[in-house]
Copies of this chain bind each other. A is one copy, B any other.
Amino acid sequence: MQPRVLVIVGVGLIGGSIGFAVRRNGGMRVLGLDDDAAALLRAKENGIVDEVCTDLGAAAFAADLMLFCTPVDRIADKVLAAAPACRPGTVLSDVGSTKVGILSRLHGRLPSDVQFVGGHPLAGSEKQGSSSADANLFRGRLVILTPTTPETDIGAVTAVSSFWERIGARVLRMSPEAHDHAMALTSHLPHLIASALAGLLPPELTSLTANGFRDTTRVASGDPRLWTAILEANRDEILSALSGFEDRVREFRTALETADHDRLQFLLQAGRERRSAIANDT
């Protein structure tokens, strides 16, 4: 059965894009909440939600499906605050970039008739706020769900999967641990590296950057507050991925220092092969 009332907690870029996509599709009433009253008003003005609400308990009681779209460090608190007010059978999910920490904070603390399914759409932007919301942000994109089987009810997982598929996403299930391990390498480490590189650019060289620098550092424009929370939430996996990266950079350094032409070309070739696999996969 398709949920009739969707509550979006946090109407930033992701929450806003979900609201847009759902309202365009029709069939659900969209209620928005946000601690930032101005952001909430903008969301209503931008047509991202049908209604705004400032009381989490009232919204939770109205919800068939609640999606938590706040920064990762606030998701568990919001879920714990909302869940007791939910009607039996309400399904809760989130869009947080890390999963293990959130799920371990929720473990054993939710009412037995309310289900939480961890989720993470692999879509986003360095932009922020509902003004940049895009109804097509999730079209063709992957959403990872991390049900902690056998605890997570199959019906709840199906409801969240169907929700994402209706707005054009593909759904993949994996364990929270596998998710956080993968994202450390595919998303969090690249962000750290892009930020480190961007931070090195002296102002006088700004106009000498071309597409290479711009692409390599694009994600560094992301919100520092959001990304501090993400890096902290997945610290151990990121430190481990970072060690692998530092080793690889050291290999490049040694090849350059020792003028090892073949080794340098081999390293560049390895990078190209892995990168080209992505292009073919898309």
CB <8 Å contact, B224 and A212 = no
- Per-residue contact bits, chain A 95-136, to B (CB 8 Å; 1 contact, 0 not): 000000000000000000000000000111100000000000
The reply to whether A208 and B186 contact each other, CB–CB distance below 8 Å, is: yes
Q: Flag if B195 contacts A277 (CB, 8 Å).
A: no
Q: Which of A23-31, A43-51, A254-262 is the contact stretch? A: A254-262
Interface stretch among A4-12, A76-84, A198-206?
A: A198-206
Q: Hey, which chain B residues are within 8 Å of A265, CB to CB?
A: 224-225, 228
Binds B, one of A54-62, A63-71, A145-153, A241-249: A241-249
Main secondary structure of the interface of A (DSSP, over half): helix
Cα-based distance from A270 to B141 in the complex (angstroms) = 30
Let me know if A154 is at the binding interface, CB within 8 A. Answer: no
With an 8 A cutoff between CB atoms, is A268 at the interface?
yes
| Contact across chains for B232 and A198 when beta carbons are under 8 A apart | no
Residues of B within 8 A of A253 (CB): 239, 242
Given contacts A210-B124, A245-B197, contact A268 B190 (CB under 8 A): no
B208 close to A197 (CB less than 8 A): no
A141–B208 alpha-carbon span in the complex (Å): 10
How far apart are the CA atoms of A281 and B205 in the complex, in Å?
11
Instruction: Find residues 203-221 in chain A having any chain B CB closer than 8 Å to their own CB.
Output: 203, 205-221
Q: How far is the CA of A245 from the CA of B144 in the complex (A)?
A: 33
A156-185 near B? 1/0 per residue, CB < 8 Å: 000000000000000000000000001101
Contacting residue for A249 out of B123, B203, B246, CB 8 A: B246
Partner of A124, one of B203, B212, B269: B212
A185–B93 Cα distance when bound, in Å, is 42
**Which residues on A are within 8 Å of B, measured CB to CB?**
122-125, 141-142, 144, 182-183, 185-187, 189-201, 203, 205-225, 227-228, 231-232, 235, 238-239, 241-242, 244-246, 248-249, 251-253, 256-257, 259, 261, 264-265, 267-272, 274-279, 281-282
